[in-house]
Amino acid sequence: MAEQIVSNPPPAKSGAGFSPTLWLFLALVVVGSAIFDVLIIQAGGVRKAGALVAGIMCVPALAAIVSLLLTRRSLAGVGWGAGSIGFLGLAVVLPALIVTPVYAAVWASGLGEIRIDEWSILVEENFGWRFGAVESVLVIASIGLLLDSLVAAGEEIGWRGFLLPELSRSFSLPLAALLTGAIWAAWHYPGILYGGYASAHAPAWYSVVSFTVMALGSSMVLACLRFASGSVWPAALMHGAHNIFIQAVLDPVTEDTSGLTPFVSGEFGLGVAFAYAVAGLFAWRALALMQRARSSG
């Protein structure tokens, strides 16, 4: 019978090594992503690479599926079930709950100003529709969220569908989540350092540090959703909601009037990084409780 990754993995075994499937997955991710990274850099960066960006986001999912098939492992444990409506709804609102206070502080302090007419411009540029600000943000939060979550699933099937449960075979749930976040963050470094993904205003090291802290904190929250729901889709939905809420809802309407806004808000701002770090600490505790419950069970 083919070995399976279960949606709720057994307690970690001290000293357990990485499986051949995991090593194959990591190798495929490195090679496949490197090819896309080179093509994206040659194309002029992520903002000019078009479909190449969607392509590299699908590499983790393809690597996971190919690795499982080649090592005769079942695909069932990736967590294909939809999960409950409650977890899916929570996945949508969590990014807004985590980062909105950061942007509110930016606007209230005068570091930046809010310009909601940018939502109309964004929808017209991407969809060709002319709406008011309210209608436009609803389009972004619905159609935009759906499209971005589908692309984000290309990452999450690999990261939280395969890698996270696989690491939890050798490590505790909190540590598996942290290691997944570290790998996820490092996977972005070529784009940040050479592919134009970083902040245009902050030094490269600042972007790397801020993004890494954000990714580690976010990974803890995503892990909670994955293990509590037994499904990969809440993680994909939260990933998509994070991208849309920051990149298409809050960043476009936040005008930098002080020269400091990019250092606080956005995916490369320490304010957003700090917010996710705090959320990650709460998620760490929740994962530790899950671990104890499974160990005692």
- Residue 231: pLDDT band (50, 70, 90) is very high
Give the pLDDT confidence of 253-280 residue by residue, as tens digits.
999 999 999 999 999 999 999 999 999 9
Tokens of 202: 């902050």
Contact 161, 184 (CB under 8 A): no
Amino acid in the structure at residue 230:
G
Mean pLDDT score, 16-38: 94
- 50-62 b/e with 16+ CB inside 10 Å = b? eebbebbbbbbbb
Torsion sign, CA atoms 191, 259, 116, 242: positive
Q: What is the pLDDT of residues 59-72, one digit of tens each?
A: 999 999 999 999 99
Checking if the pLDDT of 158 tops 80, the result is: yes
Q: Do 120 and 133 form a contact (C-beta atoms < 8 A)?
A: yes
Query: What is the enclosing helix (H) or strand (E) of 217?
Result: helix 204-229
Q: Which of 184-187's residues contact partners 24+ apart within 8 Å by CB, and which partners?
A: 184/155, 184/159, 184/215, 184/219, 185/211, 185/212, 185/215, 185/216, 187/29, 187/33, 187/60
| Residue 91 structure tokens | 């996945």
The string of pLDDT tens digits covering residues 164-206 is 999 999 999 999 999 999 999 999 999 999 999 998 888 999 9
How many angstroms separate the first and last alpha carbons of the chain?
25
Do 202 and 193 touch, CB atoms closer than 8 A?
A: no
The pLDDT value given to residue 199? 84
pLDDT band at 83 (very low <50, low <70, confident <90, very high): confident
pTM of the model: 0.92
Q: What is the three-state SS of 91-122?
A: HHHHHHHHHHHHHHHHHHHCCEEECCHHHHHH
Which of residues 32 and 296 earns the better pLDDT score? 32
The reported pLDDT for the residue numbered 274 is 98
Tell me the two tokens of residue 281.
């600490």
- Length of the chain counted residue by residue: 297
With vertex at residue 153, the alpha carbon angle to CA 148 and CA 159, rounded to the nearest 5 degrees, is 130
Show Cβ contacts of residue 70 under 8 Å, excluding neighbours closer than 6 positions. 24
Which residue, among 284, 265, 5, has the nearest Cα to 114 in the 3D structure?
265
Please check whether residue 130 is in contact with residue 140, taking contact to mean a CB–CB distance below 8 angstroms: no
> Average pLDDT over the chain, rounded to whole?
92
Inform me whether the pLDDT recorded for 295 exceeds 80: yes
CA dihedral 135, 140, 143, 145 (to 10 degrees): -140
CA distance 155 to 132: 33
Higher pLDDT among residues 14 and 157, named by residue: 157
249 has pLDDT over 70: yes
Angle between helices 85-109 and 204-229 (to 10 degrees): 150
Distances (CA, A) of 69 to 25, 65, 75, 239, 244: 11, 6, 8, 26, 33
